[in-house]
Amino acid sequence: MDEAEAAPPGTTVPAQRGRLVLVPNALDHGAVAQELGAVLPRAALQWAARLRHWLVEDARSARAFLKRVDAVVPLEQPLQSLAITELPRPPKGRRPGPPCEDSARDAATKALLAPALDGNDIGLLSEAGLPAVADPGAAVVGAAHALGLAVLPLPGPSALVLALAASGLDGQSFAFVGYLPQDAAARCERIRALEATSRRLKQTQIFIETPYRNNALLGSLLECAAAATRLSVSQALTLPEGSSRTASIGQWQRLHAAQPAQAPLLSDRLPAVFLLQA
Amino acid sequence: MDEAEAAPPGTTVPAQRGRLVLVPNALDHGAVAQELGAVLPRAALQWAARLRHWLVEDARSARAFLKRVDAVVPLEQPLQSLAITELPRPPKGRRPGPPCEDSARDAATKALLAPALDGNDIGLLSEAGLPAVADPGAAVVGAAHALGLAVLPLPGPSALVLALAASGLDGQSFAFVGYLPQDAAARCERIRALEATSRRLKQTQIFIETPYRNNALLGSLLECAAAATRLSVSQALTLPEGSSRTASIGQWQRLHAAQPAQAPLLSDRLPAVFLLQA
């Protein structure tokens, strides 16, 4: 990183700045008693065991994560002594949007990084996967760059790219577009727009849904997308019940028709990633 | 996965099909003597140590990878006894395009999966990171789905999403667009088109370059992009010399101007990921 500049002669050597360390989480949302060493690399676990300052989405689940870390790599400090701060909740609405330019919020975000100005490394943790990807952490990372802090992303899993790899759809050109509209007509229109974009740019389109609406979204896709469009759905990747299925919309329609109504094709409990290529 | 169907009574139980297992690689291109356990989770290493059949981009570097696996989790079979098959080279050109519909190539790709039809799991390995993301492996994954084989993506690092996480740019809407044109005028036009797309869709644009052209691409960005556009460049993520820097084009221009010509801002040896948000 480029923080290690020698001080000019005759000046006081400035205190070493702390780094913002992006710590990956497992993809299981704490739902299973998965051993973290199976899914996170040792570098991530060792860092997590060492950090005393944390910025997290939810303090309770962050503590649960750190207990799981402790079972693999003992924490250097007792859990109760760690400084765990929750990120401000994003503004209401499904998508908080890009890091806000608003100067008050900007100042508040920078204030979260104060421990790093005093030389402490700070861990940024998401509820699942990599922080700042498909979650509200990006503003803090942006603030770290603005303050000249080094940002250190630790290797770990991301459900979006695992689903892309597992899809067999074009992995050399893809876009993640977040959530689709909930209104049926607007959603149908959006699905057709995604197909048009996919065709025009030869680009795989990736989107997500709240688990209990998985089958509703699948229903819209089967209704609105073209029969030849390829659809991939991955659920619960990295978990024992994980699955990935890729087929044309026409094939999905036949699978759906063959399925008893009380046994829908997708689980409404497990997180899903949807991908289409038209 | 959905392969475990009971055979109807009176029929011969079909041999259990093998799976296509997507094995993550480190991001170091074998350049450093990094211990794989630091960057890959144990699940990936244990799978890699167990698989006898492999589809890889390059047999030599795959063997080097498996030696590194062996140093952490001993291989179950001697390296020489493994069936390591290289994927067919993609057609000439920088971007091989989506899985080809051509039936001859389709048949050839399916033939690569023959061991799975006989009940053997097959590992798919990329030169770096996740297979089938920003590399030619997607056709094999598509063929696996077409054959009804289960596809199992193992957790591991992806340089693209690590760079996205580290950028602080919008991680809730992003696109990976591969390589930009090499011709200066075409490249400038493409950069402006990416800015327009980024503005219109509020979408982070991610692209890559061959390392020895990193500074040439940076030069084009400083020349063609708007001063307020934010640019992030990550190099060698997960390696000791890794770095991530995010700043406005205007700030990058000042950094560039302050730099002696013989010490360019980017390394021309290390892989880089570029991200812009206009």
- Same-domain check for residues A233 and A109: no
pLDDT in tens, A188-228: 999 999 999 999 999 999 999 999 999 999 999 999 999 99
Domain membership of residue A112 (yes or no) is yes
Residue window 46-105, chain A: list those with CB within 8 Å of chain B: 95-99
In this prediction, residue A250 has a pLDDT band, given cuts at 50, 70 and 90, of very high
CB contact under 8 A, B203 and A39: no
Domain membership of residue B98 (yes or no) is yes
Q: What is the DSSP string of A10-28?
A: TSPPPPPPP-EEEE---SS
Q: Is the ipTM of this complex over 0.85?
A: yes
Helix, strand, coil abundance in chain B, percent, nearest 5: 35, 20, 45
Q: What are phi and psi of A119, to 5 degrees?
A: 95, 5
Predicted confidence at residue B187, as pLDDT, reads: 97
Answer whether A46's CB lies under 8 Å from A16's CB: no
Q: Which residues of A touch B232 (CB under 8 A)?
A: 145
Q: What average pLDDT does range A112-117 have in this prediction?
A: 96
For residues A196 and A203, what is the distance between their CA atoms, to the nearest angstrom?
A: 10
In this prediction, residue A103 has a pLDDT band, given cuts at 50, 70 and 90, of confident
Query: Is residue A89 pLDDT above 50, yes or no?
Result: yes
* Chain B closest-CA separation from residue A16 CA (Å): 17
- Same-domain check for residues B97 and B133: yes
Interface probe for A, chosen from B172, B245, B276 (most Cβ of A below 10 Å), is: B172
Predicted confidence at residue A91, as pLDDT, reads: 59
Looking at A60-74, A95-109, B163-177, which range is the least confident one?
A: A95-109
pLDDT in tens, B208-242: 999 999 999 999 999 999 999 999 999 999 999 99
Q: What is the spatial order of strands in the sheet that A53-56 belongs to?
A: A83-86, A53-56, A122-125, A20-23, A151-153
How many other C-beta atoms are found inside a 10 Å radius of the C-beta of residue B1? 14
- Same-domain check for residues A125 and A184: no
Predicted confidence at residue B5, as pLDDT, reads: 42
- Same-domain check for residues A168 and A244: yes
Answer whether B43's CB lies under 8 Å from A39's CB: yes
Query: Is residue A100 pLDDT above 60, yes or no?
Result: no
Domain membership of residue B208 (yes or no) is yes
Q: Which two tokens stand for residue B92?
A: 């000439």
Average pLDDT over chain A reads: 90
Q: What is the CATH number of the domain that holds A44?
A: 3.40.1010.10
Domain end among A133, A153, A173: A153
CB contact under 8 A, B165 and A133: yes
Q: What average pLDDT does range A129-133 have in this prediction?
A: 94
* Chain B closest-CA separation from residue A34 CA (Å): 11
- Same-domain check for residues A99 and A205: no
Domain membership of residue B119 (yes or no) is yes
- Same-domain check for residues A26 and A67: yes
CB contact under 8 A, A168 and B134: no
Predicted confidence at residue B100, as pLDDT, reads: 47
Domain membership of residue A66 (yes or no) is yes
Q: What average pLDDT does range B238-248 have in this prediction?
A: 95
Q: What average pLDDT does range A78-98 have in this prediction?
A: 76
CB contact under 8 A, A133 and B164: yes
Three-state SS sequence of A138-166: HHHHHHHHHCCCCEEECCCCCHHHHHHHH
* Chain A closest-CA separation from residue B84 CA (Å): 20
Nearest Cβ partner of A141 from B27, B130, B167? Answer: B167
Domain membership of residue B232 (yes or no) is yes
Question: Of B202, B146, B140, nearest to B175 (Cα)?
Answer: B202
Q: Quick one: B85 exposed, middle or buried, by C-beta within 10 A (0-12, 13-18, 19+)?
A: middle
Q: Which range of residues forms the domain containing residue A84?
A: 20-153
CB contact under 8 A, B171 and A245: no
Question: Of B56, B122, B53, nearest to B89 (Cα)?
Answer: B56
Domain end among A120, A138, A153: A153
CB contact under 8 A, B133 and A97: no
- Same-domain check for residues A187 and A147: no
Vertex A43 angle, CA B23 and B247, to 5°:
95
Q: What is the DSSP string of A52-108?
A: -EEEES-HHHHHHHHHHHHTTS--SS-GGGSEEEEPPPPPSSS---SPP--HHHHHH
Predicted confidence at residue B88, as pLDDT, reads: 87
| H or E element, residue B232 | strand B230-235
- Same-domain check for residues B209 and B249: yes
Q: Which residues of B touch A138 (CB under 8 A)?
A: 167-172
pLDDT in tens, B130-184: 999 988 899 999 999 999 999 999 999 999 999 999 999 999 999 999 999 999 9
Three-state SS sequence of B138-203: HHHHHHHHHCCCCEEECCCCCHHHHHHHHHCCCCCCEEEEEECCCCHHHHHHHHHHHHHHHHHHCC
Residue window 128-167, chain A: list those with CB within 8 Å of chain B: 130-135, 137-145, 150-158, 160-167
pLDDT in tens, B106-128: 888 889 999 999 999 999 999 99
Q: What average pLDDT does range B76-97 have in this prediction?
A: 79
Nearest Cβ partner of A41 from B39, B137, B176? Answer: B39
Q: Which residues of A touch B235 (CB under 8 A)?
A: none
* Chain B closest-CA separation from residue A185 CA (Å): 21
Average pLDDT over chain B reads: 90
Residue of B nearest to A241 (CA): B1
Question: Of B174, B260, B180, nearest to B214 (Cα)?
Answer: B180
- Same-domain check for residues A132 and A211: no
Domain membership of residue A3 (yes or no) is no
For residues B255 and B268, what is the distance between their CA atoms, to the nearest angstrom?
A: 17
Domain end among A128, A153, A178: A153
A22 touching B (Cβ < 8 Å): yes
Q: What is the CATH number of the domain that holds B259?
A: 3.30.950.10
Predicted confidence at residue A14, as pLDDT, reads: 52
CB contact under 8 A, A238 and B155: yes
Cα dist from A165 to A157, A162, A175, A256, B137, whole Å: 12, 5, 13, 24, 9
For residues A38 and A71, what is the distance between their CA atoms, to the nearest angstrom?
A: 12
Q: What average pLDDT does range A227-246 have in this prediction?
A: 96
- Same-domain check for residues A88 and A70: yes
For residues A122 and B174, what is the distance between their CA atoms, to the nearest angstrom?
A: 26
Predicted confidence at residue B14, as pLDDT, reads: 52
How many other C-beta atoms are found inside a 10 Å radius of the C-beta of residue A42? 20
Q: Which residue has the higher pLDDT, B262 or A208?
A: A208
Interface probe for A, chosen from B55, B133, B237 (most Cβ of A below 10 Å), is: B133
* Chain B closest-CA separation from residue A144 CA (Å): 8
CB pairs under 8 A between A and B: 227
Residue window 176-215, chain A: list those with CB within 8 Å of chain B: 176-178, 202-203
Q: Quick one: B71 exposed, middle or buried, by C-beta within 10 A (0-12, 13-18, 19+)?
A: middle
Residues 6+ apart with CB under 8 A from B243: A1, A2, A150, B234, B235, B236
- Same-domain check for residues A239 and A225: yes
- Same-domain check for residues B28 and B149: yes
Predicted confidence at residue B186, as pLDDT, reads: 97
Query: Is residue A66 pLDDT above 80, yes or no?
Result: yes
Q: What average pLDDT does range B64-80 have in this prediction?
A: 96
For residues A28 and B17, what is the distance between their CA atoms, to the nearest angstrom?
A: 27
Strands A83-86 and A151-153: unpaired
Domain membership of residue A7 (yes or no) is no
The rounded percent of chain B whose pLDDT value lies above 90 is 80
Query: How many distinct structural domains can be found in chain B?
Result: 2
